[in-house]
Amino acid sequence: MSIEFNRSYKIQKILKSDQNAEITDRLYDLGFVEGLEVIVEKRMPFGGPWIVSSTMIYVALRDEEFQRLELV
Amino acid sequence: MSHTYVLVGQPNSGKTTLYNWLTGSNYKTVNYPGSTIEYSMGSIDLKHGTNKSFVDTPGTYSLIPKSPDEIVTGKVLYDNEQTNKAHCILVIDGVHLERQMTLVFQMKQASIDFSIVVTMADLLKEQNTQIDFAALSKNIGVAVYVFNGQTSEGIDKLIAGLPLTVSEKPRKKISWTYLDFQRARIDAMEEVEKVTRKGNTNDIYGFTKKLDSWLLSKLGFVFFFGIMTLLFASLFWFSAPFSDLIEAGFSYVSTQIETAFPDSFLATFLSQGIVASFAAVLVFVPQILFLFLGLGFLESSGYLPRAAALIDHPLQKMGLGGRSFVPILSGFACAVPALMATRNISSKRDRFITSFIIPMMSCSARLPVYGLLLLFLFPDNAFLIGLVFAGLYFLSLFFGAVASLILSKFVKPSKDQFFMMELPLYRRPRIRIIIKQALSKTRSYITRAGPIIIFFAVLLWLGAQFPRVNSQAPELAESYIGQLGQVMEPVFKPMGVDWRVGVGLISAFAAREVFVSTMAVTFKVTADEEHQEKDLLQIMNQAKFADGTPIFTVGSVLGLIFFFMIALQCMTTVATQIRESGSAKFAWTQLIVLNLVAYVGAVVINQAYRLFFL
């Protein structure tokens, strides 16, 4: 799915991975849960982190971290 | 009887601001007994009362720790006998109340006795949000206080309300599944909705997002390099006059002692051994203080986490991550605080690699050495020296990157690698707190690094003064240190230098900058400090081996520069590394590897120069 910036999305699912389980746990810590509305603000240059905001947090997520959020 | 309270909160919650208001300047860093952990503990500011102390813990997102910083908080809450029953003060950022409620639920589940302090009241007002704190307190069964970090409003009410008894209820360690988080989120949402009244909400992130659209764009890298260059350049602009003043002050004291008691060994020991060793420690204090002030300013304004996010991807290509950025940056002042700053790195692997390359960054102790050697290479060309100086900074980063790349091939990726950097609002930096924290960190540098540097400097000085000949100091060649240098000359010779430079290199293990003053001694420079460098350069130009070949050639000097760039000569760094990594084996391996690479590199550079240019 191609992501549009400055648009609101809903987190449908937070994907788990055995490779680095702590990423998912930390996403929970930061307030990311299924059903949360988030805005994808932008992506930093040269393949850098994504900036995601919600009522919970304004945060920079690495691509592999951002990809754990299944957005609709 | 004194009562202890523990401050807990998420990063950027305003916890440390509250701590600073509570303790004034009555705080110190305390070591957690029997481990590498340390935390800050302070007595209450006397204007707010007596018999209360507060412990500041590193920011934690949850009671289930995922980074070394969070482990410290866990130990304070559960293990440390002095604090594991203490009443906790949970600091919550009012703007993100819903998210921070998770920690409230976790604390309750863990049976921790606590009160809540809600910060960022000014932002809530700006946002046009009203929270009924009395209702919140009633609903969750915990005392809630409001605190304004800008004005300290609300602090007296908090202090008056703190309980004077401790809860004997045993604390439980908790573990949460996704369902627990989901349930907490629903509960938090309901709770916050019940107590919050929002008017026409203002977007307090408006200015921040606008600024970020510039600072985090492609142009952001230009800003990034601009800000970093300004930071480093200002270190030298601002600290140079203070360093000169300190040097002049110590030099004056030395001269006064020697004039007052001529021909007294004790006086010489005091002036050249003790006073000069103290000077070696304190002369870098201004630079370190200004670096902490600069970093504090960037952190307090909200830029530092963004710089880390911006540089995350390039650093990942070198086997590191954005969280390594601040420790590496601090390494340019001094490796000791830089190693302590690695606690914020969650990934064991990133922390290992970062700790390994930090001593390779061009710390301030190397600068006088580079100054002398570059003057030899480019006499009377201040402009070129300035450029090469800056180049050495970037070169040390380059060498660090190469080392990191090599290490990342050997160290398996760990499962705890994540970045996830919260970007706080841009805010006006709080100068008072920045100054206070910078002073505290500088004090910590002096007490940590000082004794070791002074010990080695005094030992080396004594080595040059004994064995006594007719109650006088021996010729350098006859002294213990001179004898050691001569024994080791076969080691130094391939680098293209003789035993006298070798003595300088050995003495640099007390503190790198001692190399310059030792060279002045071994090459018998008699001029006062102001002309010392000039005379030393002249002597260096004429110095020859027994067979008449010059000692200082472009090759040997380039080799020495390389040696100083890579070698780990600072015993304080080794001691800090042992404490921070918890592994003496790692610290000693690092010492051996870096010095070996430095030596081999210096030899190769010198021999290649001889082969191709002589």
For B81-93, write each residue's pLDDT tens digit.
888 899 999 999 9
8 A C-beta contact, residue B126 and residue B133 = no
Whether residues B310 and A44 touch (CB distance < 8 A) is answered with yes
Q: How far apart are CA B157 and CA B145, in angstroms?
A: 8
Is A5 within 8 Å of chain B by CB? no
Whether residues B61 and A57 touch (CB distance < 8 A) is answered with no
Is A31 within 8 Å of chain B by CB? yes
- pLDDT beyond 60 at B30: no
Residue B27 has a pLDDT of 59
C-alpha B526, offset from chain centre: 37
Residue B36 has a pLDDT of 42
Q: How far apart are CA B16 and CA B260, in angstroms?
A: 49
Structure-derived torsion over alpha carbons of residues B397, B401, B407, B412, reported in degrees to the nearest 10: 120
- pLDDT beyond 50 at B32: no
Residues of chain B positioned with their CB less than 8 A from the CB of A25: 64, 66
Domain B3-203 class in CATH? alpha beta
Q: What is the mean pLDDT of chain B?
A: 87
> pLDDT band at A11, cuts 50/70/90?
very high
Which domains are present in chain A?
7-71 (2.30.30.90)
8 A C-beta contact, residue B9 and residue B92 = yes
Residue B219 has a pLDDT of 92
Q: Which of A29, A42, A55 sits opposite B61 (nearest CB)?
A: A29
Domain ranges across chain B: 3-203, 219-364+421-446, 466-613
Q: Name the residue with tokens 């390359």.
A: B357
Top mean pLDDT of A28-42, B289-303, B325-339 is at A28-42
- Tell me the per-residue pLDDT of B552-567, one tens digit each, with 9 for 90 and over: 999 999 999 999 999 9
Residue B399 has a pLDDT of 95
Residue B33 has a pLDDT of 37
CA neighbor of B48 nearest in space, from B28, B19, B76 = B19
CA neighbor of B189 nearest in space, from B99, B122, B274 = B99
8 A C-beta contact, residue B363 and residue B397 = no
Q: How far apart are CA B493 and CA B483, in angstroms?
A: 15
Is B417 within 8 Å of chain A by CB? yes
Q: Percent of chain B scored above 90 by pLDDT?
A: 38
HSE-CB at B371 with a 13 A cutoff on CA atoms is 15
- pLDDT beyond 90 at B17: no
> pLDDT band at B123, cuts 50/70/90?
confident
Question: Would you tell me how many other CB atoms lie within 10 Å of the CB of residue B302?
Answer: 19
Is A22 within 8 Å of chain B by CB? yes
Whether residues A60 and B312 touch (CB distance < 8 A) is answered with yes
Q: How far apart are CA B315 and CA B321, in angstroms?
A: 5
Q: How far apart are CA B573 and CA B449, in angstroms?
A: 8
Residue B163 in 3-state DSSP?
A: coil
Residue B251 in 3-state DSSP?
A: helix
- Tell me the per-residue pLDDT of B465-474, one tens digit each, with 9 for 90 and over: 888 888 788 8
Parallel, antiparallel or unpaired: strands B52-56 and B196-198: unpaired
- pLDDT beyond 90 at A41: yes
Q: Which of A22, A31, A41 sits opposite B416 (nearest CB)?
A: A22
- pLDDT beyond 70 at B29: no
- pLDDT beyond 80 at B200: no
Q: Which residues contact B254 (CB under 8 A, 6 or more apart)?
A: B271, B272, B275, B276
Residue B45 has a pLDDT of 82
Is B369 within 8 Å of chain A by CB? no
- pLDDT beyond 70 at B34: no
Residue B209 has a pLDDT of 93
Q: Name the residue with tokens 């206070």.
A: B436
Whether residues B66 and A29 touch (CB distance < 8 A) is answered with yes
Residue B210 has a pLDDT of 93
* CA B385 vs CA B399, B513, B580: distances in Å: 20, 18, 36
- Tell me the per-residue pLDDT of B340-387, one tens digit each, with 9 for 90 and over: 888 778 788 899 999 999 999 988 788 888 888 998 898 877 788 888
Mean pLDDT value of segment B248-264: 88
Mean pLDDT value of segment B4-17: 90
Residue B90 in 3-state DSSP?
A: strand
- Buried b / exposed e across B567-576, counting CB within 10 Å, b at 16+? bbbbbbbbbb
- pLDDT beyond 50 at A51: yes
- pLDDT beyond 50 at B53: yes
ipTM: 0.95
CA neighbor of B582 nearest in space, from B351, B412, B416, B410 = B351
Angstroms from B209 CA to nearest CA on chain A: 9
8 A C-beta contact, residue B232 and residue B330 = no
Whether residues B422 and A42 touch (CB distance < 8 A) is answered with no
Q: Which residues contact B245 (CB under 8 A, 6 or more apart)?
A: none
Angstroms from B81 CA to nearest CA on chain A: 28
8 A C-beta contact, residue B271 and residue B253 = yes
- Tell me the per-residue pLDDT of B488-546, one tens digit each, with 9 for 90 and over: 999 999 999 999 899 899 888 877 888 887 887 778 766 566 666 778 888 888 888 88
CA neighbor of B87 nearest in space, from B145, B171, B146, B163 = B163
Residue B531 has a pLDDT of 67
* Lowest mean pLDDT across B26-35, B203-212, B268-277: B26-35
Residue-wise DSSP of B272-286: IIIIHHHHHHHTTHH
* Closest residue in chain A to residue B63, using alpha carbons only: A29
The residue of A25, A34, A42 whose CB has the most chain B CBs within 10 angstroms, and thus the best one to mutate to test that interface, is: A25
Residues of chain B positioned with their CB less than 8 A from the CB of A14: 178
State the DSSP H helix or E strand holding residue B103, giving kind and residue range, or none if neither: helix B97-109
Residue B100 has a pLDDT of 92
Q: Which residues contact B210 (CB under 8 A, 6 or more apart)?
A: none
- pLDDT beyond 70 at B26: no
The residue of B420, B423, B425, B427 whose CB has the most chain A CBs within 10 angstroms, and thus the best one to mutate to test that interface, is: B420
Let me know how long chain B is.
614
Q: Residues 35-54, chain A: which have Cβ within 8 Å of B?
A: 36, 41-42, 44-49, 51, 53
8 A C-beta contact, residue B98 and residue B8 = no
Q: Which of B443 and B105 is assigned the larger pLDDT?
A: B105
Q: What DSSP character marks residue B475?
A: P
Q: Percent of chain B scored above 70 by pLDDT?
A: 95
Q: How far apart are CA B498 and CA B490, in angstroms?
A: 9
- pLDDT beyond 60 at B28: no
Q: Which of A36, A47, A57 sits opposite B422 (nearest CB)?
A: A57
> pLDDT band at A21, cuts 50/70/90?
confident
Residue B236 has a pLDDT of 66
Total-model pTM:
0.82
Is B60 within 8 Å of chain A by CB? no
Whether residues B418 and A23 touch (CB distance < 8 A) is answered with yes
Q: How far apart are CA B505 and CA B562, in angstroms?
A: 13
Q: Name the residue with tokens 């006397």.
A: B46
8 A C-beta contact, residue B205 and residue B213 = no
Residue B529 has a pLDDT of 60
